[in-house]
Amino acid sequence: MITAKNFQTRGNTPELLAPAGSRECFFAAIDSGADAVYLGLADFNARLRAKNFTTRDLSILVPYAHSRNVKVYVTLNTLIKQSEIAPALNALYQLDQLGVDAVIAADIGLMRLAKDNFPNLRIHGSTQAAAHNGYGVDFLSTLGVKRVVLARELSLEEIEETTKRSSIETEVFIHGALCYSMSGMCLASSFIGGASGNRGRCTQVCRRRFKTDGINTVNGYFFSPNDLQALPFIGKLIKAGVACFKIEGRMKGAEYVSTVVKAYRQAIDNPDDVDIAEKALLFDFGRAKTAFFMNGMRGEAIDPNRPSGTGIFLGTVVDVDGGAFCISVIDNIANIDDLTIERNDRLRVHPQDGFEGVSCKVACCQSINNNGNLIKITPSQPLKCAIGDSVFLIGKGSVNTDINIDIDTGINTAVNIKPTFPQAKRIADSLTPQLAPDNTVNKNSSTKPILWFKADTLRWLDLITATPCQRLIFDADVGEIEALINAPDILKTWRSRLSIALPPFIEEPKLALWRGIVDKCLYAGLRSFTISNVGHFPLVKGADRIVADSLLWCLNRFTRAELLKRGINNFVFSWEDEYLNIRDNVYPPPQSGAIPAVAPIYGRPPLFISRMNPAVNSNDPVADPHGDTFFVSTKNALYYTLPTTPVCLFAKRKKLSECGVNDFLIDVSFHEPSYELIDELINGYKQCVRIGGGTIFNFKAGLK
């Protein structure tokens, strides 16, 4: 049995960081041996569906943790809209007074505001900031960040190389749920579910069951990865110099937190003997496990036939009898010997479409055949389920989860804080010019609009030549870029208007390759580059023009101001942005010297960008439970999941012009080049009418 160890004298071993989505989890983490706990407030955190905490809670819990030599980190790791700047400043002000040990942030503007206004508040860069190489880590360090949570898609060797060349601490995930898309690069929840995963409202689209759309229809959980378990790599990660090991799970219960923290405490303190920890993790009640990229992605991380719910998979519902249901139990459940279902065990029943399941306690369990592979469950309360639903064991009633909490006198040690930062409104409004009475700045402007295109193949360039395109982003594979460099006729036509895009993920070993490609472009006279990650800035030194693409997430004017200081000439609004935030963010108007904003008004936004091959063939159409269709395409060794239905904001162009947007982007990436499509696009653009049944995404409904 693993027990918590006195961890006040561990020396320089990596910090063990545990999740806390509730008070019970907070105390479970401390009681089980965590060195630090991370948690979220009611706003601005990437797990808004967790119970989370108030500043009043923290006024008691932070002193409690500190009295036990445990640190407390608070997540403000979502993207911040312009209207949220003042509330975010108030949150930082309160956390500064509370003496939390760090704030985990993702928004560039918020990082800058924290550094300038709360210099004693330690900032950690969230994995949502998408840092995956040393350049990205170094960029965040210039914003005052002291530690960076690296992308989960890195191999052990890449983590080691990045950590060695980084000037600040690195943190890595070692256990828990994985996202199919790289963190900070997911639009699926926003596009399909109407709630942004980048703003803490993920609807777990990747966990749903999809089907192929063809003659031979196949159903499967094509985008649902197994859970990470890096237990065998703990010793090597320690030697690599990683400062902190992070456990995922703010949506999970105290039993999970206690089990996993104790297991990794054992592994960290005894890295050469992990057998005990390995056995304990059989009862973390997560999904099947994968080493993911720790071992270079040898082996599959997705089983499309396995239901996507968390817990130990027991089997499927084969009959529903009033308030009870029967389960056909699978053989060799999770390789756990003699696992039985008993009274007070906790189950979750997941519908076949992969949507959120329902939980229950077992009131009665009985075998109804001699083999014991067919059992009847009577839940403590009635629940709705159907034949074919999946059943998971999510907790054992026999496991004692009571934690000895000596916090009865904690209320007397609560920290009194002031809730409102006196300068919050002044700072939030500091980049806001005086608005015209009708809240517009450009309604009667005679400035002609600037039309941008984005394309991913040379075949598009011939077709676009005859259009009014004034600037073009070439977002192509390495081979296409090199073909362009060696095509003098094409260069002659496009050189002054073309910007070369770098891929959103460049692992450490490929930095030299992309620096070489940039050098070749500069030598060929291509001096404009489009970047989409914080690690791209050093790669494009020597450029005459730098465009910040939508994945740099410029949702507020403070991010925009920071990008301007870094040499950005244009920035592209996020595909998931809304009209009201675009209007707020576009000020000051272009003539004031601020970065001109580019609004994407047509294209297929990548819903997932992944280093992981999904369990479906590229370009095969797949459909979700709502009947929406998608396909997967590859570029620069990344997998892009695209909607069949494009976003089209042509009908909103005049509205955008009235609030100060003068640059418009038509993205034909992941489209088959054709003159017919070009004609349709240009006509729709000129006439300001929506084409092809396109969606307006969040433009009117709002970015939630």
690 confidence band (pLDDT: 50, 70, 90): very high
Distance CA 612, CA 618 (A): 12
> DSSP 3-state assignment of 37?
strand
Q: Which of 16, 35, 491, 64 is nearest to 230 (CA)?
A: 16
Residue with more model confidence, 399 or 267: 267
What pLDDT is recorded for position 434?
44
Question: What is the average per-residue pLDDT within 585-594?
Answer: 59
Question: What is the average per-residue pLDDT within 509-532?
Answer: 97
Dihedrals phi, psi of 348, to nearest 5 degrees: -130, 130
Q: How many residues are present in the chain?
A: 704
Distance CA 568, CA 287 (A): 43
Q: Please, where are the H alpha helices in 54-177?
A: 55-67, 85-98, 108-117, 134-141, 156-165
Fold assignment, 312-395: Thrombin, subunit H (2.40.10)
Pick the CATH number of 15-178+225-295 from 3.20.20.70, 1.10.287.610, 3.30.30.60, 3.40.50.300: 3.20.20.70
CATH topology identical between 312-395 and 448-604+647-687: no
pLDDT at 2 over 50: no
Q: Which range, 332-341, 362-371, 565-574, has the best average confidence (pLDDT)? A: 565-574
* Longest alpha-carbon distance in the chain: 84
Q: Which are the contacts of 370, defined by CB distance < 8 A and separation ≥ 6?
A: none
Query: Residue type for 663, please?
Result: D
For 92-147, the pLDDT digits (tens) are 999 999 999 999 999 999 999 999 999 999 999 999 999 999 999 999 999 999 99
pTM for the complete prediction? Answer: 0.91
DSSP state of 503: P
Domain parsing of the chain, residue ranges: 15-178+225-295, 181-224+606-645, 312-395, 448-604+647-687
Dihedrals phi, psi of 374, to nearest 5 degrees: -130, 115
Torsion angle, CA of 148/149/154/160, rounded to 10 degrees?
A: 50
DSSP state of 190: I
What pLDDT is recorded for position 400?
52
Question: What is the average per-residue pLDDT within 66-79?
Answer: 96
Task: Name beta bridge partners: 321.
Answer: 324
Tokens coding 303: 């089983």
For 619-638, the pLDDT digits (tens) are 789 998 888 899 999 999 99
Tokens coding 559: 């991010």
CATH class of this structure's domain 448-604+647-687: alpha beta
What pLDDT is recorded for position 413?
58
For 236-265, the pLDDT digits (tens) are 999 999 999 999 999 888 999 999 999 999
pLDDT at 589 over 90: no
Residue 14, burial from CB neighbour count under 10 angstroms (0-12, 13-18, 19+)? buried
